[in-house]
Amino acid sequence: MNIVEVKNLKKSFGKNNVLKDVSFTVKKGETLVILGPSGSGKSTILRCINNLEKIDSGNIIINNNEMIKENKNGKLVYNNKKVLNNMNLDTGMVFQEFNLFPHFTVKENISKALKYVLKKNKNEIENIVNDILKKMDLNEKANSYPCELSGGQKQRVGIARCLALNPKVICMDEPTSSLDPELVGEVLNVIKKLAEEKKTMIIVTHEIKFAREVADRVIFMADGKIIEEGTALEVIQNPKQPRTKQFLKRYIN
C-alpha cells in the first residue's frame, strides 16, 4: 500500500525550474533515501510533501488524501482545509537545523503539538512524552533547554517531537548535516532503529554508508529530475547512469 504518491510534481521559484516532473511512491513501512548534489531539489520535494511549499502542478497523495483536486469547473485546485489538515497530520518533518523552540524545554518541545494540535489530555501527553524520551534516551534532559544540549541530543529531540505526533510518513532533510562528526553516529543509530521498526520514512542524506544500510529504495536526483531509482544495491553499489556514478565516486575511497 502506497502511503506517499508524488505524481508529475513541478515546482519553480521564479524562472528557476527546481522540480521538473518528479514522480515516485513510498509504500507503508518503507525507507526511501534521496541522494543528489546540492541544489538538485531534494529539500524542495520534502517541503512540498509537508505542504511548506505550494506546488505548481502534479499531485501529492498521502494516505489516500489528494493535495490537488478538480473543482466543479474542471479546474485543478488545492483540496479543502480539512483534507490538507489531515495530510499535514500524516506527515512529519525533521530538519537539518533541528528547528527546536529555544524557549521551551525538551519536554515542552515534544508536548506542545500534542496539546494544541492533537488536543490530547494531560495523562495521554505524559505517557506519550515519557515513552518517547525513554526511546530517544533523553530522560535526563527532559527539563533542559535546547541551548544546554549537544547537537546530537538536539536532533534526537527533533526526531522525538516528530514521532510524538505519530505521522504516517516521516521526512528527514539531512538530519545529520549540521552535526560534528563524532555526533553523527548516535543520530543515525536512532534512525536505523526507526527503519527496523518499519516506520515509513523519506530521508535526504549524504551519508552513503548509512543509506546503503537503511534504504529499501534509493532515488538519485540531479537538476530537478530523478536520474536513477532502485534498491540500494542497484543505485549505490551498481549505478547505471553516468551522473550517479560521478556523484558516488567522491564517497567511495
Q: Which residues bind ligand ADP (CB under 6 A)?
A: 13, 16, 18, 36, 38-44
Decide whether 206 or 212 has the Cβ nearer to ligand ADP.
206
101 binds, among Mg ion, ligand ADP, none (CB under 5 to 8 A by kind): none
Please report whether residue 155 would count as binding Mg ion according to CB under 5 A: no
Among 31, 40, 43, 244, binds Mg ion (CB under 5 A): 43
- Rounded Cα distance between 240 and 235, Å, is 7
Placement of cell 510533501 in the chain: 49
CB 112 to Mg ion: min, Å: 26
Q: Which stretch binds Mg ion (CB under 5 A): 41-49, 60-68, 81-89, 102-110?
A: 41-49
Decide whether 51 or 85 has the Cβ nearer to Mg ion.
51
User: Phi and psi at residue 147, in whole multiples of 5°?
Assistant: -65, -15
Question: Residue length, the chain?
Answer: 253
**Count of CB atoms within 10 A of residue 213's CB?**
14
175 binds, among ligand ADP, Mg ion, none (CB under 5 to 8 A by kind): none
Cα–Cα nearest to 3, from 164, 182, 198: 198
Q: Which stretch binds Mg ion (CB under 5 A): 38-46, 100-108, 122-130, 210-218?
A: 38-46
Q: Which stretch binds Mg ion (CB under 5 A): 42-50, 68-76, 155-163, 222-230?
A: 42-50
CB 42 to Mg ion: min, Å: 5
Pairing of strands 91-94, 76-78: unpaired
CB 58 to Mg ion: min, Å: 20
36 binds, among ligand ADP, Mg ion, none (CB under 5 to 8 A by kind): ligand ADP
Cα–Cα nearest to 2, from 42, 23, 30, 22: 30
52 near 15, Cβ under 8 Å? no
CB 119 to ligand ADP: min, Å: 32
For residues 156, 158, 161, 162, the Cα torsion angle rounded to the nearest 10 degrees is -110
Decide whether 43 or 244 has the Cβ nearer to Mg ion.
43
**Count of CB atoms within 10 A of residue 206's CB?**
15
Cα–Cα nearest to 221, from 38, 52, 17, 82: 38
Q: Which residues bind Mg ion (CB under 5 A)?
A: 43
